[in-house]
Structure 1
Amino acid sequence: MKHSHALKHGHMSRRSLLLAVAAAGMSAALLPPTSDAADVVAATPGEIQPFKAEVAEAALADLRRRLAATRWPDVETVMDRSQGVQPHRLKELVRYWQSSYDWRKAESRLNSFPQFLTNIDGLDIHFVHVRSRHENALPMIMTHGWPGSVFELLDVIGPLTDPTAHGGMAEDAFHLVIPSIPGFGFSGKPAATGWNPQRIAAAWDVLMKRLNYDRYVSQGGDWGAIISDALGRLAPDGLLAIHVNRVERATTLPSDAAQALKNGGPAPDSLSADEKVVFDEARDFLNNGFGYAAIMSTRPETIGYGIADSPVGLAAWLYDKIADWVFTPGDPEQALGKDAILDNITLYWLTNTGPSSGRIYWENAMSGAKLTPVKVPVAVTVFPGEVYKPPRQWLSKAYPTLIYYNRSSKGGHFAAWEEPELFSQEIRAGFRSLRS
C-alpha cells in the first residue's frame, strides 16, 4: 500500500491534535499542542494527517463539576423501565462517573491505535486505520452507529487484523478502516444539510481509494448498516461485498406484513408462527421503543439543548437505548461494564456531539432516497438481541445476492461491543467465499 507523503516521512509529529474544551463548556476545538486558538489545524483536502486525542484537563474538571451539580427528576411512578431510564440505575452510573471513572485510560486505549484525519467533500473525517501483518489481508471499512462510536469496534481490531492470535486463520485477515460518522466523535460536524447515508457512503469510497485500497468490503450495524447498504446500492468499482448485522424493515418485510405494520393491524395470516413473532416484535418496537428516532428525525435541535448542557441528560439519552438493545435488556453493565459505557458517553460529552450525531436521523428522513436493492453480494448475521430479526426468506428483495446468512446464539444490537470474538468469527465467515 502506498502512503501519503506526510505519513511516509512522518514529519507531522508536531501536528498531533489536542482536543481542548473550555472549562465553561464551550464548543470543542482541535488544536495543535502548545499552540493558541489562532493555530487551529484542519485537514487539508486530499491529505492524510496523524491524529491523537488529548483532552484538556479543564474539560474533565468541568464535567465533574456539572455532575456534582445535577438536579435530578422525581422518581418514576412505575416499578419497571416503561417510563424510561430508572433513577437508581443512572445515579449509580453517575456516581461512578464522577468519583472513579478515568477518561485517560480510554484516551490511552484509543491512542494505542493509529488514527488519522482527512478532508472529504469539505469535512474532516476521523478514522482508525490498522493494517494486518498477514499477506493478502482483505481491506474492510467498518462503521459504527448511534448511540455508539468507534469505541464499540475497538475490541474486534485484534481478532480481525491478527486472526491467528485469536483462533482464526491467516487467510481470514483484514486491513481495517474504522471512521467516525460525520457529526460523531472526532469527525467534523456538518455546517450545512446534505450529509445523509448516501453521501457518507460515497465519502467512504473516497476514503478507501485515498488509502489505495482498490478492492474492499464494507461492514456495519445500526447506521453503519444503513451506510453499508447505501454503499452497496451505489456499488462503486472495487466494492466486493457488504456485511450487516442490522437489516432494514422497509426493504425486507413481505408486502402484506409491511402494510399491516403501517396500518397498526395484526400479523397477516400469510405469515408462519415464527414470522408472526418477528412481526409482533417489530410492531412493539415501533409502538413503544421508537420515540427517540421520531424526535431526532423531526426535532434534533430541540433535544440538542439539553444534551449539550447537561452530562446527565446526555447520559440518560444514550444509556436508555444502550440498555434497551444489549443482549441483557435493562442491564447494560452486565453486557458491557460501566467503563465501556462511560468511554462512549464521555466521548460524546467532550466533543459535544450529542446534538450533531442526532442530525443523521433528520438527514435520512429528509433525503427521500429510494431504497433499491443492493447490487453487490451481501452477508447477514442476525444476533438474538437485535430489535428486528428477519428470517432468511425475507431478505431476497433487498439482497438479491445473499452469500451468507446466520443466526447467532448470543449478542445484541451492539454485537461487536458485546461479543467481539463471536462477532469477528461471523465477519470472517461472511466474507470467506470472496477469498477463494
Structure 2
Amino acid sequence: MLRLAPAAEKFSIAIPGAALADLKARLAATRLPPEPTDAAWQYGSNVGYMRGFLQRWRDGFDWRQWETRLNGWLQYRVKLKRPDTAGLQTVHFLIEPGSGDTPRPLLLTHGWPGSVLEFVDVIDRLAHPERFGGRVEDAFTVICPSLPGYGFSMPLERPIGPRAIAKLWRDLMVEVLGFERFLVQAGDWGSIVSSWLGIDFPDHAVALHLNMVPLRPPLTRDMQPPLSNAEKEWMLRTRKRHDAEGGYYAIQSTKPTTLGYGLADSPAGLAGWIVEKLQGFPRAPADHKPVFDLDHMIANVAFYWLTETGVTSTWLYWAARQNGELAMQPGEFLRSPTGFLLPPWDLVPPSPKGWLERGYNVTHRHDLERGGHFVAMEQPEIFVADVQAFFRNLMV
C-alpha cells in the first residue's frame, strides 16, 4: 500500500480544448522548408515524411486517447526544494504499484527528446509481469517522473543540472514515497541524473540499470591503468559520431533561447527538431522512415507542445555544460551494482569494458545486436527482460 507524504497532490491530465484547437490551426498554417532534390534524411528531417507526419497530427491523431492512457496510472505532483537555489521545483510523476507482496521500487528516468511516454509499453510489464507470461516475483512498483522543465514538472524558473535533479529524485523517493532503498533504470539524461544519484546517495540508490554510456570517468595523466588502444579508438569514434550527429547539442547547451523561438511558436518546427532524432538515433537508413509507431511519435511531440516545454527541456543541456556535470572528478566512483544494456547505434557508441569499469561497479552488460537510443520504446520486451534479469539476483 502506498503511503505518500501529504505534500504530494493527485493529478490528472486534462489539456484544454482551446489548446488543441490552437494547435490544429497552427498545423494548418505550416510553411514547410525547401530541401535539395536528392534529399532523404541526410540533411535532417525529410520534408516529404514530415508533410505526412504533420497531416496525421492535424487530421487523424487523437490526443485524448493518449491522455486517457496516461491517466490510467496514478499521477501526482509535488513541490521539492531545489538544492541549487532557495526555490521549490514542481515534479510530476506516474506511479504503478507492483503485483505481489513485495514489489521492489524502481525509478525510471527519461531523457531528451523523450518523455514519460517512452515507457508506456513497459510500465505494466514491469509492474505486473504475471500478466505477460512472467513471474510475479519479478514485479516492481514503478515510479516515472518527468524531468524538471519537461511535461508537467513545471514551471522551471531557471536551468537545473543533473546533479541537482539527482537530489530531487532522492527526496522524491525517500521523503515523499518512503522508499529508503530503491532500484534505478534510465537512459539519455536519465542515465546522467541516475549516475549522480548513485554516486551521491549509494545507500538509497542501491542498484542501477542504464541503457546509455553515461558519465565520463575521471581521466588524469597518471591514472591506472592508462588508456588502452581500444579506449583511444572508441574515443575517436565517439568524437566523429558526435561531430556528425551532435549539432543539436551545440545549440541547446549554449544558446537555447535562440532555438526556442521556433520550438515555442511552431508545432511543425518542434516536430522537425524532435523527429530527426527519432529517425537517426535508431540508425534507420538514410532513405527510411523512423522505426517507431507514428502515433506514438506524434504523442511524444504533442506532449512537449501541449505542456509548453519544448524550450525549457533544452535548459538541462545548458546547465550541465555550465556546471561541468558530465564527468566524474578524481576519487568519484559509483559503487552500487550497475548493469548496462547498450544498443549498437547511439550518439555514444558502446564503450570498451575497461572504460565503464573506471567509473562504475559493472556487474552486468548486454550489448544488443540492433536498435538505438530509445530502447524501451523500440524494443520493450527485450528491455523489460534485461531489467528483470539484472535485478532478479541482486542481494540489495
Task: Say whether the fold is shared (TM-score over 0.5).
Answer: yes
Alpha-carbon separation, structure 2, partners of 1:361 and 1:92: 30
Q: Which amino acid aligns with 1:199?
A: A
Alpha-carbon separation, structure 2, partners of 1:333 and 1:415: 17
Q: Which residue of 1 aligns with 2:165?
A: 200
Structure 1 position 355 matched with structure 2 position 315: no
Q: Which amino acid aligns with 2:375?
A: A
C-alpha contact 1:76 1:86 (8 A) present in aligned 2: no
Alpha-carbon separation, structure 2, partners of 1:199 and 1:249: 15
Structure 1 position 218 matched with structure 2 position 178: no
C-alpha contact 1:143 1:179 (8 A) present in aligned 2: yes
Alpha-carbon separation, structure 1, partners of 2:115 and 2:152: 10
Alpha-carbon separation, structure 2, partners of 1:217 and 1:384: 25
Bigger helix share: 1
Alpha-carbon separation, structure 2, partners of 1:381 and 1:408: 7
Q: Relative to 1, partners in 2 of residues 1:223 and 1:353: Cα closer, same or farther, differing over 3 Å? A: same
Q: Which residue of 2 aligns with 1:428?
A: 388
Alpha-carbon separation, structure 2, partners of 1:281 and 1:321: 19
Q: Which amino acid aligns with 1:82?
A: Q
C-alpha contact 2:122 2:380 (8 A) present in aligned 1: yes
Q: Which residue of 1 aligns with 2:24?
A: 64
Q: Which residue of 1 aligns with 2:58?
A: 98
Alpha-carbon separation, structure 2, partners of 1:249 and 1:214: 25
Q: How far did residue 327 of structure 1 move?
A: 5.0
Q: Which residue of 2 aligns with 1:338?
A: 294
Q: Which residue of 2 aligns with 1:189?
A: 155
What are the equivalent positions in structure 2 for 1:256-267 lying under 5 Å apart?
Answer: none
Match among 109, 113, 117 for residue 143 of structure 1: 109
Structure having the higher Rg: 1
Alpha-carbon separation, structure 2, partners of 1:338 and 1:253: 42
Alpha-carbon separation, structure 1, partners of 2:130 and 2:201: 31
C-alpha contact 2:42 2:286 (8 A) present in aligned 1: no
Gaps of 5+ in 1: 7-46, 257-267
Q: Which residue of 2 aligns with 1:11?
A: none
Alpha-carbon separation, structure 2, partners of 1:211 and 1:4: 5
Structure 1 position 397 matched with structure 2 position 364: no
Structure 1 position 3 matched with structure 2 position 3: yes
Alpha-carbon separation, structure 2, partners of 1:135 and 1:331: 50
Q: How far did residue 410 of structure 1 move?
A: 3.2
Q: Which amino acid aligns with 1:270?
A: N
Q: Relative to 1, partners in 2 of residues 1:415 and 1:186: Cα closer, same or farther, differing over 3 Å? A: same
Alpha-carbon separation, structure 1, partners of 2:5 and 2:173: 17
SS of residue in 2 equivalent to 1:178: strand
Q: Which residue of 2 aligns with 1:14?
A: none
Match among 311, 321, 324 for residue 267 of structure 2: 311
Aligned residue pairs, count: 380
Q: How far did residue 331 of structure 1 move?
A: 7.7
Across the aligned residues of Structure 1 and Structure 2, the Cα RMSD in angstroms comes to: 2.3
Q: Which amino acid aligns with 1:396?
A: E
Q: Which residue of 1 aligns with 2:245?
A: 289
Q: Which residue of 2 aligns with 1:240?
A: 206
Q: Which residue of 2 aligns with 1:18?
A: none
C-alpha contact 1:252 1:394 (8 A) present in aligned 2: no
Alpha-carbon separation, structure 1, partners of 2:395 and 2:323: 35
Q: Which residue of 1 aligns with 2:84?
A: none
Gaps of 5+ in 2: 82-87
Match among 196, 200, 203 for residue 230 of structure 1: 196
